[in-house]
A and B are shown apart, each in its own frame.
Chain A
Amino acid sequence: MTQTLLNLLAIAVPLAVGFASLFAFTTWLERKILARIQNRIGPNRISLPFTRFRRLFGLIQPAADGLKMLAKEDIVPRDADKLLHLLAPILSLVPPMMVLCLLPLELPYATAGMRALQAAALDNAVLLFFAITSLNTLAVFMAGWASRNKYSLLGGMRAVAQMVSYEIPLVLSAAVVIMAAGGMNAQAIVEAQRAQWFIFTPWGLAAFLIFFIASLAETNRSPFDLPEAESEIIAGYFTEYSGFKFALFFLGEYLAIFAVSGLAVTLFLGGGAGPWVAAYPALSCVWFLAKIFALIFVMIWLRGTLPRLRVDQLMGFAWKFLLPLSLLNLFVAAAALKLAKPWLSWPVGALVLYGAAVALSRSHRADAAPRTYSYAE
């Protein structure tokens, strides 16, 4: 009894502490990368008090932000619903934290007992993943409604509609991998990719792209960051939050990013696989995190480049483009797996998928093309 408890602690505590500190590192990483993209330098002026480390490339900036968030006064609107106002940030933090244990992360010091207890070994780990992440939508709505302000309610409704409609392509593109790997057990999926990562098959690549775009929308990132669209009237569901509750929302968002990109790495990029893993088994954990940070770099890169989609375009994109494409991808993957003749099924699959994608996009925005201009003397 106590041994299982100890094993559980040995797994759970590093996950919670590790990912929370990675959250601090990622905020710094995001501001530095965005700065470098924009020809700036990024935060570099905070220095450790009482030590001679002067600036240390701004690595102490997250600590300063955290301290500021703690010190900030926590304002609760007068006629807000006190209980739900407090519960919303917690509920936005709990599901991503719970889902992190589902990722097949081989901890270097794990004994056999511990490995058996890891949730990744669950029979339907991926299904549980999606079930728990759907709780996020609730937290967003609760925040929007509890702060009893017309704009945050509308912002909350918009965010909920976006998350619900992007959950379907997310689940369908994961279904392709489950079909290919033959089971929902995360570790089994990683085993199935030992020969070849799913991203290198045409339908796997298509599924990865859909999964990645849908996960961007699920965590309100880059082209889909509608809720905190300051350029529109609705300032998003967390306008009435300040101080540490606001920081909790951000912690929740970043943990959700870790969770979703962790799942993407498990499903498409072969989990902890990588060169020299056979020699040093401890490396698989490093490779896993490296791939997650590669995906996070792409997210930050997107955030630095792309403008925002409008609400109806966002919905149209989900229902009229991603959903039919992921259904077709499911069909193509099934056919390819059944035929099992890669030299034939791959080119045909790639052609069908790309053709469908172009046809779909052409049917919606037929005339959206850059124009040429006439000159008058």
Chain B
Amino acid sequence: MRLLGFGILKGMAVTLENFVRSYFDRDRRHHLFTKEYAWEPGAPAEVLPARADTTVTAHSRNFPILLHDGADPMGGIRCVACQICERECPPQCIYIEKDYDEQGKYIKRPAIFDIDLSVCMSCQICVEVCPFDAIVMDSQFELSTANRFGGLLQHRDQLLKSNEYYHRIHPEEARARDDRMAQEKAEKEAKQAAADAAKKKAAEAKAAAEIAAEKSKPEPSAPTAGGAA
């Protein structure tokens, strides 16, 4: 026999339980799930710490940044301005111009690398398609600026961050990416070494063949053979 108004009383029992236990229950109190906003008034405006229970975690991705190895930004820049990410970017928010030295020869570096943050939708396609691991996603989001028309257009120097910084914001991902790059470099060297070895062997074989040919032939034109070797 369903008591009259029993459903309402059961519902009220639930809310009362929530109310009372929010003061006493250990596990319930800590998941009063209002997450503290990461930024504290007066806190220095450098990198927001990646804590698990705030809005900035070790996994969140917001806007892309360019990576460079070593201390000098332009020295160790990884990006070679191959413009694959510019083509693949769904909202087309990246603009790259290649860098040329005085003689007009293309040196593998971007002269201009702009990302319009107001257009970017942080979808991480550019990170995937980049063959050189030059672009990764940052986790900082305090990027609001006063002027609307140029403020959110980030230029190459603002985008450049050190690889060590990348380790600080996304430790796990950074380690995985570095291991993969190290492994690829090792393979390339191994392949390179194998290729050198093969080329050296081929060169020796050719040299040996020539010596053999010379012995079997009289000495009519000695000076030219030396040049060909």
Contact = CB atoms under 8 A, between A and B. Distances in A.
A324 interface: no
A39 B31 contact: yes
A33 B19 contact: yes
A358 interface: yes
B12 A302 contact: yes
A357 B4 CA distance: 8
A36 interface: yes
A37 B11 contact: no
A301 B16 CA distance: 8
Interface in B7-35: 7-8, 11-12, 14-16, 18-19, 22-23, 28, 31-34
Nearest to A33: B19
B4 A361 contact: yes
B4 A39 contact: no
A116 B139 CA distance: 72
A14 to B, nearest CB: 32
B4 A40 contact: no
Main secondary structure of the interface of A (DSSP, over half): helix
A326 to B, nearest CB: 16
B51 interface: no
Interface residues of A, number: 18
A361 to B, nearest CB: 5
A301 B8 CA distance: 12
A14 B34 CA distance: 39
A305 B32 contact: no
Interface residues of B, number: 18
Interface in A326-366: 354, 357-358, 361
B148 interface: no
Most A C-beta atoms less than 10 A away, residue of B11, B15, B23, B28: B15
Nearest to A298: B12
B2 A39 contact: no
Contacts of B34: 40-41
Contacts of A41: 32, 34
A369 B15 CA distance: 22
A37 B19 contact: yes
Contacts of A357: 4
A338 to B, nearest CB: 28
A138 B107 CA distance: 83
Nearest to B17: A37
A304 B15 contact: yes
B31 to A, nearest CB: 7
Interface in A232-274: none
A300 to B, nearest CB: 10
In the A-B complex, list the 8 residue pairs whose CB atoms are closest, starting with the nearest: A305-B15, A36-B22, A37-B19, A37-B15, A36-B19, A41-B34, A305-B12, A305-B11
13 contacts: A36-B18, A36-B19, A36-B23, A37-B15, A38-B18, A39-B28, A39-B31, A41-B32, A301-B15, A305-B8, A305-B15, A306-B11, A369-B2
